[in-house]
Amino acid sequence: MTQLTLHDSQRRANVPFQPLDPEHVRVYYCGPTVYDLPHLGNLRAMLTADILTRLLRRLYPRVTFVRNITDVDDKITARAAANNETIAQLTERTTAEFHADLAAMNMLPPDIEPRATHNIEEMVAMIAHLIELGHAYEAEGHVLFAVASFPSYGALSGRDTDELVAGARVEVAPYKRDPGDFVLWKPSRPTQPGWNSPWGRGRPGWHIECSAMSHRYLGENFDIHGGGSDLLFPHHENERAQSLCCFPGSTFANYWVHNAMLLVDGEKMSKSLGNFLTIRDVLARGPVEALRLLLMGAQYHSVLNFTWDGLDEARRTLDRFYRALEMAGPLDVEDRPLPAAFLAALCDDLNTPLAIAELHAMATAALAGNKDAAVDLLASGRTIGLLMQEPEAWFRGEAGDGPSEAEIDALIAERLAARTAKDFARADAIRKELSDKGVMLEDGSSGTTWRRA
């Protein structure tokens, strides 16, 4: 079996992946805070998780992939108030939209998708235990994690606590013992969501939920923890601190995987900058499968600059792959083993650009008439969530406001008659007419086919 190598953020190096239990690989990913539609940058992180877990399922007999939904957060509270709806309405709707967007991009659902609000008890228990062990303290209704009680704080993100203090630009709350201390539990006003706890009615800090849910569903020690690189600090650093302190002797995640940011015009795509795009924006310009390919066009560990030209190019690339499949006719990929070079590319720290280059090699062979290569192409593409459609459906697309299939067929028949009669002026007029409406005709040896531009 090909050895999977991953870039581990904590070791800052590519390392061979060795699961704790080869019979059961366990992965935790930070999911969305459900207050708005996911943007393309969010989707990049979800896609990295999708490719990683798809690959793990190829390599190991059992994989448990947990990805949480953060449904309690001050941004949610604020947005619900602004929308004049309840928090539950907002989070339910946004969660449904999130699921729909991921499904549209052929992402597989996680095995377990816990919600923060369903795990408050676990969080309260962990916080209480952290206080018992001297790693947390109560102050003015808050419970704070005492960074000084954990010597290896900063080891994950590569910072030392002195620097953090020196560089801190945030105002330090006066009740903190140490400027780096962070909130585990905070009091809620009556208008804010809250749960009863030993420290009064309140709500959890952001970081504790992932510690509680990963522990509940994966245990004290598990294999991989992933998320966007912007979560490395403070979120993941804090999760790690809480979990390791709460469960002495445990290791928490053995490998940390962080995807780099998606940029727009050289800047991070983010909601706070307002430069974000959602799937809805993309759909107006091209199929979502092209977006998926575009996001795989750079290795997950590198920043990727989103451009509309890039989306168009990804679509043309898929045209080429689908053309190769179309030429080969019906294919059966059942139980097809993956080509070694393709699998090796994915196992090399999810080197999707190299894997796509392998797809091109398969497509070239398939276009030359090698049907076996076409089967390889389809099997390989589908393992990374591509080439899910029939070629004809890909090329013909949605009619939208263009001519219907019946109208197109009628014009093709008329054009055929004109061509037979050598009336090329009429034939070309029909080609032009359809072309103006976004339908391209292609005369082949077995008749005329068409596709939408």
Partner RNA sequence: GGUCCGGUGGCAGAAUGGUGAUGCAGCGGACUGCAAAUCCGCGUACGUGGGUUCGAUUCCCGCCCGGACCUCCA
Annotated binding-site residue numbers for ATP = 271
Total chain residues near RNA (CB under 7 A): 78
CA–CA dist 201, 187 (Å, integer): 6
Which has the closest alpha carbon to 20: 52, 51, 64?
Answer: 64
Element (H, E) at 55: helix 40-59
Rounded to whole angstroms, how far apart are CA atoms 290 and 186?
Answer: 44
**Does residue 163 touch RNA according to CB under 7 A?**
yes
Name the residue type at position 73. Answer: D
- The single-letter code of the amino acid at 53 is T
Q: Is 340 in the site for RNA (CB under 7 A)?
A: no
Q: Is 320 in the site for RNA (CB under 7 A)?
A: yes
Nearer to RNA, 200 or 353 (CB): 353
Residue from 20, 173, 303, 393 in contact with RNA (CB under 7 A): 303
Q: Does 354 bind RNA (CB under 7 A)?
A: yes
Binding-site member from 109, 198, 200, 353 for RNA (CB under 7 A):
353
Which stretches does DSSP call E strand in 298-432?
304-306
Q: Does 316 bind RNA (CB under 7 A)?
A: yes
Query: Which of residues 235 and 292 has its CB atom nearest to RNA in the complex?
Result: 235
Near RNA by CB under 7 A: residue from 262, 350, 378, 379: 262
Among 297, 397, 402, 438, binds RNA (CB under 7 A): 297
User: CA-CA distance, 452 to 403, in Å (whole number)?
Assistant: 10
Strand ranges for 31-177 from DSSP E: 63-67, 136-139, 142-145
Options 76-84, 129-137, 330-338, 359-367: segment touching RNA (CB under 7 A): 359-367
In the complex, minimum distance from the CB of residue 76 to RNA, in angstroms, rounded to a whole number: 10
DSSP category for residue 380:
H
Among 58, 129, 216, 360, interactor with RNA by CB under 7 A: 360
CB atoms inside a 10 Å sphere around CB 361:
15
Enumerate residues 26-85 that contact RNA by CB under 7 A: 30, 32-33, 41-42, 44-45, 73, 75
| 206 makes contact with RNA (CB under 7 A) | yes
User: CA 158 to CA 154: how far, in whole Å?
Assistant: 6
Comparing CB distances to RNA, the nearer of 60 and 287 is 287
110 binds RNA (CB under 7 A): no
Are 144 and 184 within 8 A, CB to CB? yes
Nearer to RNA, 163 or 372 (CB): 163
Q: Is 293 in the site for RNA (CB under 7 A)?
A: no
Minimum distance between the CB of residue 61 and RNA, rounded to whole angstroms? 28
DSSP letter at 275 equals -
- List 170, 174, 189, 335, residue binding RNA (CB under 7 A): 170
CB closer to RNA out of 32 and 110: 32
351 binds RNA (CB under 7 A): yes
Residue 393 interacts with RNA (CB under 7 A): yes or no: no
Nearer to RNA, 106 or 317 (CB): 317
CA dihedral 195, 201, 205, 210 (to 10 degrees): -30
Q: Label residues 48-77 b or e (16+ Cβ within 10 Å = b).
A: bbbbbbbbbebbbeebbbbbbbbbbbeebb
For residue 15, is it left (φ>0), alpha (ψ between -120 and 50) or beta? beta
57, 63 in Cβ contact below 8 A?
yes
Nearer to RNA, 2 or 24 (CB): 2
